[in-house]
Amino acid sequence: MDRTLMRLLGRILESDTKRTDSKLPRILPALRLSVVLLCILLCALSRNAVFVVGILAAELIRLAFLPPQRIAGVLGRLALPVLFTLLIMLPSVFLGHPRTMLTVTMKVTCSVLLLLLANEEMDWKDVTGAFRSLHIPGIFTMTLDMTMRFLVLLGRLADAMLEAISLRTFDILKGRKRDRARYMTAGGVLGTTFLVSQRMATQTYEAMECRGYDGVYRSYEKHRFGWQDAVYALLIPLAIAAFIYCQAAL
Amino acid sequence: MIQLEHLSYQYPDGNPALSDITYHFEAGKCYCLSGPNGCGKSTLFRILNGLSFASAGSYLLDGVDVTEKKMRDKAFAASLHRRIGYIMQNTEVQLFTRSVEEEIAFGLYQMGLSDEEVVARVEKYISLLGLESLRKRSPFTLSGGEKKRTALAAILAMDPPALIMDEPLNGLDEDGQQWVTDFIRGLKTPDRLLIVATHNKDLISEIADETIYMTKEHTFR
């Protein structure tokens, strides 16, 4: 439990201080997210493998601009879903439809790679920022931001409690007694974390009230639409046109 | 500026937190509130900020009675929160937005200021509190001292005539404590009321115009 917690915490904290060391220019998060979702949708709808291969090729080129360590990380995370899909779709080969296996696997590879690349280039602040740019109410994005913040804060608390418990645990119980003790410990940690979360939520709301919060939230950060965003936006009509062309060519 | 008349407060379980407190806090002075843990300092601050309400007695801000009924009126509550800034003991829960600059801008937008005014004030307080390199960072990833500076910037940007600080040196290292002490000293102006709860004798000796000791019986001495 504590290892999982530490890993999750590490990921969230890392994402907050993530530096963009990609050689490609930074794209407006809302635009990036829109293109990713559109490509996933078009890949899923496409009956022409050329379109999916085209998107996959474009994503691989984008991947090549990342530093080697991050490329290895992306490919490592991509391998599991791809292998899993291959395994699931393997019976279709024996049933005389080998193309089905290839098509589905390619679509999965393409979708997962799109998401992994977006994850590499955007942190959670970018994602909530993207929601904001897409005119999703500020209160929704603020709630998302605060949820992430509380996850980290409560994760730290739970981690500290688990460490304190490990310092006082000598593993002398065996069998059922040991299991029962473990469940009770986990229950205690979760219960305390829940109570603290309640208290922190109340205090945060009070802090907001003290600064005049009346239910309306306005964002300070303004995203400017740059030339790189304009170029990137061209991908939307291009992807749609390529999709229509590929379907018509069938 | 703030008048407390026979103010008492009881917790829902009947235990007293404040007992018959009468005091007058004047603008332009710095009051340091000291006393044992659990004597009611934080409860008093909650009442002054309109987060809790007296069981008996009254609390007047600039001659106007602050009651639970009045605080339900959004305009009245907003007016009170513009006049009283509150730095909580645990700044971690006080910072809730996605970046330091957004944190400072939050209260300013709630005050209905124009975009230009908000930007000007954000820049002013980022510079004043030395937060330039932290402006895009999430407040919860900052160190204790940086969080304290962010909270101070967020409250001071609203320019409240009264500032209440609950244990401002809590969780800070020596340098951080010295920085906050110097900063609070610099906040003293002829028209600003400062109320600071602290156990730190050095801070009291450096900033206090008047020191109030709260007893275990929840009264002022």
Do the beta carbons of residue B180 and residue B169 sit within 8 Å? Answer: yes
Q: Is A219 on the interface with B (CB under 8 A)?
A: yes
Domain presence at residue A104? yes
The verdict on residue A177 lying in a domain is yes
- A95 within a domain of the structure (yes/no): yes
Strands B30-34 vs B210-213: parallel, antiparallel or unpaired:
parallel
A76: domain range?
A: 27-122+222-248
Same domain membership, residue A32 and residue A117: yes
Distance CA B41, CA A130 (A): 43
Q: Please name which of B133, B125, B81 lies closest in space to residue A206, comparing C-alpha atoms.
A: B81
Q: Which of B51, B84, B122 sits opposite A206 (nearest CB)?
A: B51
The answer to whether residue B158 neighbours chain A at the CB level (below 8 Å) is yes
Query: Are A228 and A171 in the same domain?
Result: no
Query: Could you tell me if residue B167 is left (phi over 0), alpha (psi between -120 and 50 degrees) or otherwise beta?
Result: left
ipTM of model? 0.84
Domains of chain B: 2-213 (3.40.50.300)
C-alpha dihedral sign at A126, A127, A133, A138: negative
Q: B59 has which bridge partners? A: B4
Domain count, chain A: 2
Whether A132 is covered by a domain: the verdict is: no
Cα dist. B126→A217, B104, B122, B131, B152 in Å?
A: 21, 8, 6, 5, 10
Same domain, A61 and A114: yes
> Distance between CA A169 and CA A167 in Å, rounded?
6
Contacts with B98 from chain A: Cβ below 8 Å: 125, 128-129, 145, 221
pLDDT in tens, chain A (250 residues): 555 655 565 555 555 555 445 556 677 888 888 889 999 999 999 988 889 999 999 999 988 988 888 899 899 999 999 999 999 999 988 888 888 888 899 999 999 999 998 888 777 777 777 777 777 777 777 777 778 778 878 888 888 888 888 787 777 777 777 777 778 888 888 888 888 888 888 888 888 888 888 777 777 776 667 788 888 888 889 989 999 998 888 7
Whole-model pTM: value is 0.74
Instruction: Tell me, yes or no, whether A214 and A232 share the same domain.
Output: no
Q: Name chain B contacts of A13, Cβ cutoff 8 Å.
A: 141
Between chains, do B106 and A145 touch, taking CB under 8 Å as contact? no
Query: How many angstroms separate the most distant Cα atoms in chain A?
Result: 70
